[in-house]
């Protein structure tokens, strides 16, 4: 098996001619992913951040970064982000109690994850806990997902901070063409941020794009 380093603790494995994205991890499986030696498979159909990496767009997330993760769910992608920022911290916000219960199992195992059962549309409610962060990652399928991202960036993102928002067109407007929704989203994000890059998550996630931004 060949292992090519992408960024800190993220590797592209090649096994029997098949490429597998993985994070180097001392922990076991969290959501049914394979453990391959010292690596945990990072499944792109289960994680939009993995899909972005598999599509060839890579962000050099540093091991000591402080990350605010919005929409943690049961912790699938959070578990891999925590592998990457093994010298930093992940503040992970989730509103729904059911996936949060599963997520707590992960947070008890990982000392660099701080779980927050909160509504991401109300960042002031957790502003006493979350410090200024280097990076915001958001995966929230709500109509007001752009507003949520903007508000959290205003509260928590450092002046030179970056962020990625995973945009689901059908959650914003189920009647419009996805491409029209994406154009509106990019236009709005450019008002508050410098848009570094964006792109489709097909074939892993239908009608989704990633948008990578930096504070102006």
Let me know: does 15 contact 36? Beta carbons within 8 Å.
Answer: yes
Binding site per annotation, positions = 76-77, 94-95, 119-120, 139-142
- Paired strand residues for 210: 166, 199
Q: Which residues are annotated as a binding site for S-adenosyl-L-methionine?
A: 76-77, 94-95, 119-120, 139-142
On the 0-12 / 13-18 / 19+ scale of CB atoms within 10 A, 216 is exposed
User: What is the 8-class DSSP label of residue 34?
Assistant: P
pLDDT in tens, 1-15: 899 999 999 999 998
What the chain holds in terms of domains, given with CATH numbers, is 2-42 (3.30.200), 54-215 (3.40.50.150)
Across all residues in the chain, what is the average pLDDT? 96
Confidence bin at 216 (pLDDT 50/70/90): confident
Residues 181-197: tens digit of each pLDDT = 999 999 999 999 999 99
- Give me the mean pLDDT over the 198-211 stretch: 97
Say which residues have a Cβ less than 8 Å from residue 36's Cβ, sequence separation at least 6: 1, 13, 15, 20, 22
108-167 pLDDT tens trace:
999 999 999 999 999 999 999 999 999 999 999 899 999 999 999 999 999 999 999 999
Q: Rounded to whole angstroms, how far apart are CA atoms 58 and 8?
A: 11
Q: Count of CB atoms within 10 A of residue 21's CB?
A: 21
Query: Among 71, 34, 16, which residue's Cα sits nearest to residue 49?
Result: 71
Q: What is the pLDDT of residue 146?
A: 95
């Amino acid at each position: 098996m060949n292992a090519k380093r992408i960024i800190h603790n993220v590797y592209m494995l090649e096994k029997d001619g098949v490429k597998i994205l993985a994070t180097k991890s001392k922990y076991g499986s969290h959501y049914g992913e394979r453990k391959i030696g010292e690596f945990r498979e990072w499944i792109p159909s289960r994680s939009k951040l993995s899909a972005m990496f598999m599509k060839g767009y890579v962000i050099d997330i540093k091991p000591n970064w402080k990350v605010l993760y919005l929409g943690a769910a049961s912790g699938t992608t959070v578990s891999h982000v925590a592998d990457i920022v093994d010298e930093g911290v992940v503040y992970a916000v989730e509103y729904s109690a059911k996936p949060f219960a599963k997520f707590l199992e992960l947070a008890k195992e990982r000392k660099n994850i701080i779980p927050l059962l909160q509504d991401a549309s109300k960042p002031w409610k957790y502003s006493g806990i979350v410090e200024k962060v280097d990076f915001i990652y958001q995966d929230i399928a709500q109509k007001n997902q752009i507003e949520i991202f903007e508000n959290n960036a205003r509260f928590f993102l450092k002046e030179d901070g970056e962020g990625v928002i995973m945009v689901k067109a059908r959650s914003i407007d189920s009647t419009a063409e996805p491409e029209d929704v994406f154009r509106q989203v990019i236009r709005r994000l450019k008002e508050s941020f410098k848009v570094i890059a964006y792109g489709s998550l097909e074939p892993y996630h239908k009608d989704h794009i990633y948008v990578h931004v930096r504070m102006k």
